[in-house]
Amino acid sequence: TGYICFGISKTGEIEDADLVIGGVGEDLMPYFDDRHSTSGGTPLLDQEQNWLLLLARQGNGTTQLKFIRDFHTGDDKDIKIANENTYFVWAVGATDKIIFHQ
């Protein structure tokens, strides 16, 4: 149960990060969105969905997601993955309700 948020950040902070948020809903159907964060509030949905969900499952109190994305998407809301220091950010939620936290 709950959601998983994973992202790429230029600073190591969740603000202004390139994110994916997903999980498995109460109806046992996966949900999965390409998003980006701003200065507070729920991350905004990207117009261009560049992450691809390969697997979503939950059981025994855990949620698992497997996904991919190109290193360079050409989308201005996505952070290019390059051969340099890269920060990854993450968050998890105990429920499927996506909330911003500090």
- pTM for this one? 0.87
**Tell me: the pLDDT tens digits for 34-67?**
999 887 778 889 999 999 999 999 999 889 999 9
Does residue 99 have a pLDDT over 80? no
DSSP class per residue in 22-84: EEE-TTS-EEEEEEE--SSSSPEEPSS---EEEEEEEETTEEEEEEE--S----TTSPPP-SS
**Tell me: the pLDDT tens digits for 70-88?**
999 999 999 999 999 899 9
What is the rounded CA–CA span in Å between residue 11 and residue 23?
Answer: 26
